[in-house]
């Protein structure tokens, strides 16, 4: 399997994505931003089709669209949670519309659109892997730099304000990091199924671990298991890799819920 260059590239890219998703996912879940993540991936779809239309790589189009819109959402919605929901759905609808428009305007075949939406393992080149590595490292480095404050602001926003943490500025920084992560992760699982990696492993992890670092390790582990096994099964069966990753992550989440159910029965 590893004698094929595209499989080596896929495994390298998948590993990077799993690590970034596991780390970022823990904050996504703590900040209750699963819906926002999903929206960013739809915006990513519009960005990728714009990239095709403009003759760029889909990843660059995605980066442009997700970063700009994440700042927009951050500024428009502020701290008001109920307003955030409406702002997100408005922006989400607008960008899916734009995505469809750019697809129609560009003269690429429809299989290209499928690749963007559902992911493509075969399509990842060496150059893509390099770009993804640099982006992933940048994301992890920024998380490391703001780690203590981001942890406080994500897991206890009220307390963080009282403790003097710049919660609002951190919120925008986090959205930009999330935009970058979505664009990177979309390369393997596709933009429609991004939350498989960015939310499910972290959502499972909160039932198995009870510290931020513990949850990160568990989430990265769950994401790696899904990506590695998914790629292998995809290689064996020729079925879509995204399907296998989705099944594995959903199964882990199901197990996590069951474990939590029995644990809370024991303690009660």
Partner 1 sequence: MLSVNDLAINFGSTTVFDHLSFQVDQGDFLAVIGVNGVGKTTLIKTILGQLKPTAGTIETNPQLKIGYVPQFRNLDSEYPLTIADFVSLNFTGWKLPWLSKKERQRVQTVIKQLELTPIANRPLGRASGGEKQKAYLAQALVAEPNLLILDESTASLDPTTKQELLRVVKDLNQRLGLTIIFISHDMELVNEYPNKYLWLRSDGYSQGPIAELEMKLRGEADV
Site for partner 1 in 181-240 (CB under 8 A): 206-207, 209-213, 215
Contact stretch for partner 1 (CB under 8 A) within 35-43, 140-148, 183-191, 227-235: 140-148
Cβ proximity to partner 1: between 158 and 238 the closer is 158
Closest distance between partner 1 and the C-beta of residue 187, in Å?
A: 27
Q: Which of 55, 110, 111, 148 binds partner 1 (CB under 8 A)?
A: 148
Distance CA 45, CA 75 (A): 22
Q: Which of 2, 164, 238, 266 binds partner 1 (CB under 8 A)?
A: 164
Cβ proximity to partner 1: between 101 and 209 the closer is 209
Q: Which of 82, 162, 262, 265 binds partner 1 (CB under 8 A)?
A: 162
Closest distance between partner 1 and the C-beta of residue 224, in Å?
A: 21
Query: Is there binding between residue 89 and partner 1 (CB under 8 A)?
Result: no
Cβ proximity to partner 1: between 110 and 162 the closer is 162
Contact stretch for partner 1 (CB under 8 A) within 6-14, 72-80, 105-113, 161-169: 161-169
Site size for partner 1 (CB under 8 A): 28
Residues in contact with partner 1 by the rule CB under 8 A? 144-145, 147-149, 151-152, 155-156, 158-165, 206-207, 209-213, 215, 260, 264, 267
């Amino acid at each position: 399997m590893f004698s094929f260059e595209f499989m080596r590239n896929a495994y390298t890219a998948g590993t990077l994505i799993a690590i970034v998703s596991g780390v970022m996912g823990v904050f996504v879940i703590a900040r209750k931003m699963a819906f926002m993540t999903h929206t960013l991936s739809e915006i990513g779809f519009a960005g990728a089709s714009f990239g095709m239309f403009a003759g760029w790589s889909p990843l660059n189009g995605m980066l442009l669209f997700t970063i700009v819109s994440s700042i927009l959402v951050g500024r428009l919605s502020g701290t008001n949670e109920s307003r955030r929901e409406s702002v997100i759905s408005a922006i989400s609808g607008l960008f899916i519309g734009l995505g469809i428009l750019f697809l129609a305007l560009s003269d690429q075949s429809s299989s290209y659109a499928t690749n963007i939406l559902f992911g493509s393992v075969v399509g990842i080149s060496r150059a893509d892997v390099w770009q993804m590595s640099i982006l992933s490292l940048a994301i992890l480095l920024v998380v490391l730099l703001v780690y203590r404050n981001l942890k406080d602001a994500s897991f206890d926003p009220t307390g963080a304000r009282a403790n003097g943490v710049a919660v609002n500025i951190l919120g925008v920084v986090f959205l930009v990091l999330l935009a970058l992560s979505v664009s990177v992760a979309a390369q393997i699982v596709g933009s429609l199924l991004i939350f498989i990696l960015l939310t499910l492993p972290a959502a499972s992890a909160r039932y198995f671990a009870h510290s931020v670092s513990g949850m990160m390790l568990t989430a990265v582990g769950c994401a790696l298991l899904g990506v590695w096994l998914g790629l292998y099964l995809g290689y064996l069966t020729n079925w879509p890799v995204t399907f296998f990753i989705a099944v594995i992550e959903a199964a882990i989440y199901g197990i996590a819920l069951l474990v939590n159910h029995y644990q809370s029965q024991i303690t009660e």
